[in-house]
Every structure is written in structure tokens, then in C-alpha cells.
């Protein structure tokens, strides 16, 4: 009888322990903070390339309404939606690289990750561009911009002033697959060289001067030969 009572007591104690542990388990799981960017991959790529050094896609880029011949253009491609890209450029005349940030406003409002990074994935891409945050106050850079090339955010067009050199870039890409995904600069269109004549053929002052002088020399030589020939003809007749 004593053993039976001890068995029942052990059974009741065991059930109570299991119930208490099971009830505590969900509370313990809720205290674990989930990753902030569960579907974003950060990838770095290094370049030291100008727009003129990469695959020329001017035939495509010139078809877009936003095209302006005085800027460089860079096509960025990825197999999943591009949330944000930071690119370091070497700017002519500047010693330090310029860090530029491009982001999808629906995914990274103000360039920062929201509390729910997946909320904006159903909205069409809305791209912004500015100098990356740093110690100094960020400035608006004329000619710096970005444009979506499709509705799913996997292709975008970066616009920069002419002559910038891409040093390195890093991208936050949202995806639903295992492992990392890659991105690339899928093509560029360098700015057109400066030209005169309001868009016509390039004209330089030196070339025009040489041509005019050469014409005058030929004209003078022809006139002199004509006068010599005529004088000889008159003398022969007399």
C-alpha cells in the first residue's frame, strides 16, 4: 500500500512538472529576438571601373525618357529585389572616395530598415539617392539619381555625373531562397563627350583656322600662277 501511494505521488509530481515546463517553453521562445533582416543578403563587389570600362548598353539606356547625355549610367541587376545599395565612387579632383546610397523607399524608408522589412515588398519600387550618412552633413549632388527598370525591383538604373570611377559596392537584396544571391553591373552608358555647334558635328577653332589658312594659300598660289601664265602669253603675242 505504501508503494502504491508513493507511485501515485510520483505520477502526480511528474505530470505537474511536465505541464509547468510546457507552459514555460512558449514564453522562453518569445524572448528570443528574431533577425532584423531575415530575407536580405549583403554582398560586396569591388571594381575600380569607369562607365566606359564596362559593357556598353547605350542602345538600351538611350531609349529611356530619363536619359541625359551629360551623365554616366550604370545598370544594376539581381535575381531578387534590390533593397539598398551603397557605392563608393572616386570623383575627379577629390582625394577621398564619395560614399553614395541608393535605396527602395518602400523597403528602407529614409534608407533605414523598418520594423517589418517585408511590408513594402508588394509595392512598386520607389528609388532614392543621396550621399551616404557620415560625420559631415549630407549634400544633394546634382546629377545623382536612380530609377527602377522593372516592377519587381531586380533591375535599376543608377545615374551619376560624368567621369566617376566605381571603387566598390555593397547591396542588400531581399530574397526567399537558401544561400546568398549575387548582383552585378549589367551594363553602362558613359556620358557623351562635349561637342560644339548645338549638337552638330564637333568643331574646334584650331582646325578651322588651319583650313582657312590653307585655302587662302592655295587661292594666292593659283592667282599668282594665272598672272604669270597670262603675262607670258601677252609677251609671246607681241
Tens of pLDDT, residue by residue, the chain (238 residues):
444 555 555 554 554 544 444 444 333 334 434 334 445 677 777 778 999 999 999 999 999 999 999 999 999 999 888 888 999 999 999 999 999 999 888 888 877 766 565 566 778 888 888 887 765 555 678 899 999 999 989 999 999 999 999 999 888 888 776 666 788 899 999 999 877 554 445 445 556 677 767 777 777 767 666 666 655 554 545 4
3-state secondary structure (DSSP) of residue 74? strand
Are 10 and 118 within one domain?
Answer: no
Give the CB-side neighbour count of residue 149, counting CA atoms within 13 A: 21
**What residues have CB less than 8 Å from 191, skipping those under 6 apart?**
51, 69, 70, 71, 72, 162, 163
Are 62 and 160 within one domain?
Answer: yes
Are 120 and 7 within one domain?
Answer: no
Are 116 and 16 within one domain?
Answer: no
**Number of domains the chain contains:** 2
Nearest Cα neighbor of 77 from 177, 26, 149 is 149
Nearest Cα neighbor of 184 from 25, 75, 98 is 75
Whole domain around residue 14: which residue ranges? Answer: 1-32
Q: What is the pLDDT of residue 125?
A: 87
**pTM tops 0.85:** no
Residue 25 in any domain: the answer is yes
Are 56 and 21 within one domain?
Answer: no
Q: What are phi and psi of 210, to 5 degrees?
A: -60, -45
Q: What is the Cα–Cα distance from 10 to 31, expressed in whole angstroms? A: 32
Amino acid at each position: 500500500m505504501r508503494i502504491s501511494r508513493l507511485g501515485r505521488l510520483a505520477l502526480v509530481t511528474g505530470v505537474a512538472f511536465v505541464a509547468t515546463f510546457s507552459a514555460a517553453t512558449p514564453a522562453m521562445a518569445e524572448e528570443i529576438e528574431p533577425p532584423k533582416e531575415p530575407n536580405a543578403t549583403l554582398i560586396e563587389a569591388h571594381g575600380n571601373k569607369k562607365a566606359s570600362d564596362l559593357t556598353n548598353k547605350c542602345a538600351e539606356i538611350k531609349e529611356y525618357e530619363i536619359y541625359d547625355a551629360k551623365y554616366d549610367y550604370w545598370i544594376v541587376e539581381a535575381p531578387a529585389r534590390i533593397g539598398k545599395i551603397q557605392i563608393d565612387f572616386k570623383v575627379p579632383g577629390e582625394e577621398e572616395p564619395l560614399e553614395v546610397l541608393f535605396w527602395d523607399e518602400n523597403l528602407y524608408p529614409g534608407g533605414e530598415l523598418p520594423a517589418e522589412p517585408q511590408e513594402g515588398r508588394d509595392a512598386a519600387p520607389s528609388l532614392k539617392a543621396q550621399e551616404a550618412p557620415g560625420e559631415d552633413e549630407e549634400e544633394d549632388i546634382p546629377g545623382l539619381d536612380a530609377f527602377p527598370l522593372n516592377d519587381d525591383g531586380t533591375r535599376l538604373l543608377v545615374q551619376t555625373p560624368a567621369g566617376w570611377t566605381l571603387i566598390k559596392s555593397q547591396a542588400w537584396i531581399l530574397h526567399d531562397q537558401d544561400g546568398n544571391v549575387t548582383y552585378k553591373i549589367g551594363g553602362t552608358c558613359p556620358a557623351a563627350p562635349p561637342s560644339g555647334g548645338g549638337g552638330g558635328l564637333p568643331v574646334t577653332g584650331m582646325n578651322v583656322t588651319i583650313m582657312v589658312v590653307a585655302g587662302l594659300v592655295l587661292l594666292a598660289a593659283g592667282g599668282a600662277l594665272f598672272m604669270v601664265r597670262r603675262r607670258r602669253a601677252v609677251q609671246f603675242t607681241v
